Structure 1
């Protein structure tokens, strides 16, 4: 596998999520990967992939685009925008068919050419409000 620079690796990370290619996503994550969403209670790679797939399954055809990226050494910060329609079941909950658009900030850490940590901050209340309309 070709070694990617940190910016290209993170771009690929989010493209694989958009492509629903979780097997390839796992390959570019470090064996010690940890995911922190808002709180300091991390998920390992399998927990992260299950959560991500469960979220994304509810939005067939969604987009998850990086709008800004800043790279410093082993850290990559991203400003992303997610857009999709909740037209399928998500974590066992029936679809609302509502459009959802939200931004989030992510900080990813790279080690040995792989993503070892992802931390995100987003507004869950805003997302829920859009789903409940």
Structure 2
């Protein structure tokens, strides 16, 4: 498969065009971004695939998707419940639906608040 590095300035990820309307968002620093993501244009819709770990990284994802598809995202798909794929949901406008499969949704409901509470406990020790 051919791919093309796309010029987009972000401290969180590097952007690649995989095919017309299909982009891969590859984390440059997993401590800042968490995971990889992507977006694609299916004609009348731009869909984000995962939202990264932080609202700041997700803001760059939103900006890139709008620039390269000429439209704001119309839907988000969460692949699974891990925070590095869903915590960026916080930065998604409330008018944009966020979908996942029933198992992912159940796992998000079960573990997300629990994991955030764990992170709050350890965060002070990680800050110098």
Give me the TM-score of the superposition, normalised by structure 2. 0.25
The structure where strand makes up a greater share of residues is 1
Higher relative contact order (CA 8 A, sep 6+): 1
Give me the TM-score of the superposition, normalised by structure 1. 0.24
The structure where helix makes up a greater share of residues is 2
